[in-house]
Structures are given as structure tokens and as C-alpha cells.
Amino acid sequence: MTTPTTVAHSFARDLVLLSGGMDSSTLLAEAAQTGTARLAVSIDYGQRHVREIAAAVVVAVHYGVELVALDLTGWGSRLTGSALTDPNVEVPHGHYADESMRATVVPNRNATLLSAAAGVAQARGCDRVLTAVHAGDHPIYPDCRPEFIAAIARATELATDGAVTIAAPFTHQTKTDIARLAGKLGVPIALTWSCYEGGDAHCGQCGTCIERREALRDAGVPDPTAYAVVPA
Amino acid sequence: MTTPTTVAHSFARDLVLLSGGMDSSTLLAEAAQTGTARLAVSIDYGQRHVREIAAAVVVAVHYGVELVALDLTGWGSRLTGSALTDPNVEVPHGHYADESMRATVVPNRNATLLSAAAGVAQARGCDRVLTAVHAGDHPIYPDCRPEFIAAIARATELATDGAVTIAAPFTHQTKTDIARLAGKLGVPIALTWSCYEGGDAHCGQCGTCIERREALRDAGVPDPTAYAVVPA
């Protein structure tokens, strides 16, 4: 396990793509501490767990960073076949690396969300969009892999005449690395939301609940989450 | 002047990003004639000339291609500073290559629209997104240049595990080349909409009205457009 890299200082005005989960909240925490965080953007694309946006609002307030919530539900409603946007597809239970988790892939999600965020960044004078994709996402989600991030960063730089780029500081880190950083930075983990089911409490059984629980345990960071069913 | 390339046949299921203007309507016409057109996508991003979407609907019906209209106004409403999305910024009058036309740049528009369309393409089983950007767009709009198209195509292929790519068959053609092709294919030009002002009739004075008029004239194709003020 390696230590997460520090957010680079060469960029002065960061926009953090904030889902409201533990990973992006930790990224916001680091950018806020470094002094580069200017704006957070949360996107409602019709995800089953839209409740995460309420968490994002609370986390952004915690760090004193302005949050812009974008409504892309007109797009997400067209994405049939994904468990996160199609009410007819069930959320699979298991580990992130499990084949069953492929049902949670949202077609071209990160390119769309990052591009939309980059447009807001340019309009608002931010020069970098930060995303919290990490190594644990790579097996199942092609739009979390380093080569995708490099490609979309290049496309963004070209589209904005160099005004905006995209970076993923956690891309080679595990979720346990991020949990350790969250503990070190004092991230208010209880305020963040992970569960894909999007109920009143974390279900404790979906892939993201299991990963959250395991990462905090392995990092030796207390887990304040009230799970409906405590993951094994 | 070169002849527009024919839409390649190696891809079988095309999604055409259809603004409702002359260029994308001609692209749809070609894909429909080639037999590869499966879906058209039009996007309301809060553009002043949202009227173009009504044109897109009529053009799609003309070619018997299903049209999906996406509502991205929640994104566009955040893009202050552009004449097309900010009601406080006036639409400049002049030629596309004029410096004044920079006011019509929408931050990261094509990356966002193409990525959103690529997600719909993947969900609907299309393997290519076609966009009608052309050589006349290059000076002012960075997200219409060939190097941007190559980069976003690469990002899309990586994000979708090779399921979807992006192509811009008109990228090295002039608008006059496209007008000539429109004439040859019998595109119903009167049904298309270009004017950025978005009034009841084409204003005849904004950059896109002037370019439309000149391209049709130079291509020797009759212009059926009823301009409020006939361009010089």
C-alpha cells in the first residue's frame, strides 16, 4: 500500500467533483487543506442513491466550499440497463471486483460528468477538475482507469484551449489508502454517503457498503456508519 | 475545395448528434442514405436558439430516424459568460472567423454533448456517434478541431471498453462543401434552423445566418430560408 499523493500545488483553482461519498469527500478535504479548493460540483444524473447529493451539500458546507448541484437527470433517464439509473435493474450485492458489479456501470458516466464539470470550471475560472477515482474501481469501471483519465484530460485541455485540465490524484491508491488519509485529515465520515441502494441508512450489503466498511477497518479508522445490516 | 468523405461503412449503427442545423441535418441525411443511422440525439443545453430542436425533430421525422431529446439545461444554466447560454451576453453579428464570435463559445460544449450522446449510444446499442463539426468552425471553436475530436474519440473508446467511438466526417470540409452535399442529397434545407438569435425567422445578421447564406450561394444551391434581413 502506498501513501496517496498530495494534490499538486501548481494549479491554484480546483473544482472538486463531489459525489458525497468517502473518496471524493477526502479529496475535497485535501484540496481545502491545501488551499486550492474553489468549487465543488455534485451531479444528479438520476442515480438510485441520489441521497448522496444531500451528503455532498453537508460535506461542502463543512469545508466552507461553494457547491454547485447540476441536474443531468434528463440524460440519466435515457440510460436503461444500469442498476444505478434503471429502476428495473437490481443493485447487486458483493465486492467491487465481482463480475456481478458490472450491472452498476453507467454508460460513459465519468466522461459526461467530468466534461460537464469542466465546462462549469471554465465558466467559473477554475483551472482543474479533480476526481476521486481510485485503483479499486479499475477492474469493473473502464472510465476510472488511468488511461481514460489521461485521455479525457487531453480532450479537456484541447477543448478549453488549455484553460482547464482534469486530474485524479487517487488513481493509483486503494480505498484503504484513502480511508487512512480520511482518518489523518479528520474527514467527517459520518456525513458522507456511499450506499448504492439509497435508502434511509446504509444497507451494509451492496458492493460500495462492503468496500467502505472494509477500507475503514483495514486502515484502522473508526467507522461511524449506521449500517442496516453490519457487513461481515 | 474537397469533396466530403462518405460515412464509413465499417460501423453499422450510428447515432447522429443532430442540432437541427444544415450541417448535422446533412450528416443525418448521408447516414440515413447509407443505412447506418439508428438514432438521432438533440440536446437542450439552454441555448438561446433552442428553437433548433424543433427543427431537429422535423428533420428526424423526415428521415424516419428516432430522435432522443436530452435535457441538459441544468448544466447550461451554469455557463455564464457565453452569448448562447447567458441572456446577459448579446449575440455578435459577423463572420465565424471574426474575433467577436468568441462570445458564442460555450465552455466545453462538444465534450459534454458528445459524451452524453455516447452514453446513450452505448445504452441503445449504437457503436458510433457522428458529429457535423467542420473546418469553418476551427478558428474560433477549439472543441471542433480535429485534434480534439481524436482525443474525445479515444476517451470514449476507453470509457466504453471499445463499444462506442466518435467520428466527424466533415472535419476537413468547408460549410460550402456541406451545402453542396446537402443539395446533392436533397436535404430539406427549409426545415433546418441555424440562427443563433432564435427568433421566429432567421435574423440574417448573426454569424451563423451569414455563413448559411454564403455557403448555399457558393455551392450553387437554392436557399429557401426566409431571412428577416437578407444578408449582404
Q: Which residues of A touch B152 (CB under 8 A)?
A: 155, 159
> Taking a C-beta distance cutoff of 8 angstroms, is the pair B219, B180 a contact?
yes
Nearest CA in chain B to A85: B123
The residue ranking higher by pLDDT, B204 or A100, is B204
Mutate to test the interface with A, among B50, B108, B148, B166 (most CBs of A within 10 A): B108
According to DSSP H, which parts of B64-132 are helical?
73-76, 109-124
Q: Is residue A146 a part of any domain in this protein? A: yes
| Cβ–Cβ gap B151/A154 under 8 Å | yes
What is the per-residue pLDDT for B232?
62
Confidence grade of residue A96 (pLDDT, cut at 50, 70, 90):
low
pLDDT mean over A151-158:
98
C-alpha cell at B99: 474575433
Asked whether A129 and A13 are in contact (CB, 8 A), the reply is no
> Does any domain span residue B111?
yes
Asked which of A5-19, A99-113, A218-232, B190-204 is least confident by mean pLDDT, the reply is: A5-19
In the prediction, which pLDDT does B10 show?
A: 55
What is the distance of C-alpha A168 from the center of its chain?
10
- Which of A75-89, A98-112, A183-197, B95-109 comes out lowest in average pLDDT? B95-109
Mutate one of A53, A158, A164, A171 to test the B interface: name it (highest B CB count within 10 A). Answer: A158
Q: Per the CB < 8 Å rule, is A123 touching B81?
A: yes
**B76: which DSSP letter?**
H
Number of CB atoms found within 10 A of residue A166's CB: 25
The length of chain A in residues reads: 232
Give the model's confidence band at A97: pLDDT under 50 very low, under 70 low, under 90 confident, else very high: low
In which element (H, E) is residue A70 found?
Answer: strand A66-71
Residue B3 lies in a domain: no
Distance of CA B218 to the CA centre of its chain: 20
The two most distant CA atoms of chain A are separated, in Å, by 50
Q: Give the per-residue pLDDT at A4.
A: 46
**Residue B176 and residue B121: Cα distance in Å, rounded?**
30
Task: Confirm whether B148 is domain-assigned.
Answer: yes
- Between residues A105 and B177, the one the model is more confident about: B177
One digit per residue, pLDDT tens: chain B, 232 residues?
Answer: 344 444 444 558 999 999 999 999 999 999 999 999 999 999 999 888 888 999 999 999 999 999 999 999 999 999 988 888 888 888 888 776 677 888 888 899 999 999 999 999 999 999 999 999 999 887 889 999 999 999 999 999 999 999 999 999 999 999 999 999 999 999 999 999 999 888 889 999 888 899 999 999 999 999 999 999 976 6
The DSSP code for B106 is: P
Q: Which residue of B has its CA nearest to A115?
A: B112
Specify if A109 maps to a domain: yes
Residue of A43, A44, A77, A78 to mutate when probing chain B, most B C-beta within 10 A: A78
Q: Does B8 touch chain A (CB under 8 A)?
A: no
Q: What is the mean pLDDT of residues A26-36?
A: 97
Chain A partners within 8 Å of B89 (Cβ): none
Domain that holds residue A159: 14-219
**Contact in structure between A135 and A172 (CB atoms under 8 Å):** yes
pTM over 0.90: yes
Smallest Cα distance from B124 to chain A, Å? 8
State the pLDDT at residue A7: 47
**Which DSSP category does B206 fall into?**
B
A160 touches chain B (CB under 8 A): yes
With respect to residue A145, please indicate whether it lies within any of the assigned structural domains. yes
How many domains are there within chain B? Answer: 1
Domain assignment present for B9: no
Give the Cα separation of A164 and A170 in Å (integer).
19
- What is the DSSP code (8-state) at residue A8? P
B17 touches chain A (CB under 8 A): no
CB contact under 8 A, A70 and B73: no
In chain A, what residues touch B160 (CB-CB under 8 Å)?
107-108, 142-143
User: Is B229 part of a structural domain of the chain?
Assistant: no
Q: Taking all residues of chain A, what is their mean pLDDT, rounded to a whole number?
A: 91
What DSSP state is assigned to residue A118? H
Q: What is the mean pLDDT of residues A146-150?
A: 97
| CATH classification of the domain holding B125 | 3.40.50.620
Nearest CA-CA partner of A124 in B108, B13, B146: B108
What the block records as the C-alpha cell of B213 is 447564406
The answer, yes or no, to whether residue A50 has pLDDT greater than 70, is yes
